[in-house]
Amino acid sequence: VGIRQIADSLSLSVCTVSRILNDTMGDAKYRKETIERVRRAAEEMGYRPNMVARSLVSGKTHTIGLCLADIANPVFGEFAALFERDAARRGYATFVCNAGEDPAAERRYVDMLVSRRVDALVISPVGKDVRRLKRIANAPHCRVVLFDRCPGGVHAPSVQVNNRNAMRDLASRCLALGHERVGVIMGSPADSSLALRLGGIRDALKAKGLRASSLVTSKGTGATTVEGGAKGMRHICKKRTRPTLVLALSNVLSMGALAAAKELGIRIGEDLSFAGFDDFPGADLMTPGITVAVQPVRKMAEECVAFACASGPAKPVSKTLKAKIVWRESVRSRGQSR
């Protein structure tokens, strides 16, 4: 049932009904009675406004497109859930999309979202071709918000964590325990976040006066996947002088690395110290618990929603948040570990 039938059933005009149901009578003053009649009829007939019609006229859909780089990463999943909740509170529905690290899929999603006239597109871009995003960001009806991965040149606000600093801090704390040979589980070289994190580790090494040769980078599959992490760990552990500390550049990699360690019979904590970037479910449940640097996911989601729902012209403000280190038991001092 639509506004029309309720108007007919009451012998009123659609406009009257519309105005009453939307509380949007500028100068018009309706009789208390009319208002009541309309409200009741709407209720009784089970009227639900047709948002698509409304959107067509208003030009706003009250809809946000969230395009994630890879939902296999639990952090993205958590982010999505938090985002959706905050958006819903503000009256926005969100389309959740998963590019799965595939630029082509991302392109299709972005096109689809634009077609659906989302009011905002919140995206952690996987493709390096940002022309499309630029175009959209410059168009008036859809505001773009970048998060996690924030390529330059797009006129849009962005929300990210300071990857380099976070990883530097984590590495420093670990190195302070006496480790001198550290392995790094690397993922896709195309992911700029990972490069930054690796940079952070290098910083920490340098600050400690350690030579670059004390850093053993994994030759994984070159992909930021569980399997990639596992391959990396196996590779590192085959070395003649195995590192006493292994650092994984992402949670997905951590999960793979840990699986490989288990497989290899390497006891984390006792045989090998380990820490990773980003929390993952179960990191606290394992024995020992895994030390990680965690992104302030909740805060990120809040900021993104705020940018997405903001009114007025989009300002390309860049919010950089700080990660927090959750110290559990997986990193021991070098003596203990070996």
Q: Which residues pair with 276 in a beta bridge?
A: 248, 292
Q: Which of 8, 22, 189, 281 binds a second copy (CB under 8 A)?
A: 281
Sign of CA pseudo-dihedral 260, 266, 268, 272: negative
Q: Does 317 bind a second copy (CB under 8 A)?
A: no
- The nearer residue to a second copy, 53 or 317, going by C-beta atoms, is 53
Burial of 329 (0-12, 13-18, 19+ CB in 10 A): middle
Q: Does 283 bind a second copy (CB under 8 A)?
A: yes
* Contact partner at residue 27 from DNA, a second copy, none, CB < 5 to 8 Å by partner kind: DNA
Q: Considering only CA atoms, which of 83, 51, 99, 115 is closest in space to residue 309?
A: 83
The interface mask with a second copy, positions 72-111, x = CB under 8 A, is x-x--x--xx--xx--x----xxxxxx-x-------xx-x
The interface mask with a second copy, positions 120-159, x = CB under 8 A, is ---------------x------------------------
Q: Does 14 bind DNA (CB under 7 A)?
A: yes
Q: Does 54 bind DNA (CB under 7 A)?
A: yes
The interface mask with DNA, positions 18-47, x = CB under 7 A, is xx-xx-xxxxxxxx--x-------------
At 98 the three-state DSSP class reads strand
Which amino acid, residue 253? L
Q: In angstroms, what is the minimal distance from the CB of 311 to DNA? A: 15
- Continuous segment of H or E residues that includes residue 64: strand 63-68
Q: Which two tokens stand for residue 72?
A: 């296999």
| Residue corresponding to tokens 């309720």 | 6
Q: In angstroms, what is the minimal distance from the CB of 47 to a second copy? A: 10
The interface mask with a second copy, positions 246-265, x = CB under 8 A, is ---------x--xx--x---
CB 142 within 8 A of CB 119: yes
Q: In angstroms, what is the minimal distance from the CB of 32 to DNA? A: 8
Q: How far apart are CA 123 and CA 159, in angstroms?
A: 10
- CA distances to 37, 78, 79, 239, 305 from 85, in Å: 35, 11, 10, 47, 10
- The nearer residue to DNA, 17 or 170, going by C-beta atoms, is 17
| Cα atoms in the 13 Å half-sphere on the side-chain side of 103 | 10
Q: Does 104 bind DNA (CB under 7 A)?
A: no
At 183 the three-state DSSP class reads strand
Q: Which residues pair with 96 in a beta bridge?
A: 66
User: Which positions lie near a second copy, rule CB under 8 A?
Assistant: 46, 48-53, 55-56, 61, 63, 71-72, 74, 77, 80-81, 84-85, 88, 93-98, 100, 108-109, 111-117, 135, 255, 258-259, 262, 267, 280-287
User: Which positions lie near DNA, rule CB under 7 A?
Assistant: 2-4, 11-16, 18-19, 21-22, 24-31, 34, 49-50, 53-54, 56-59
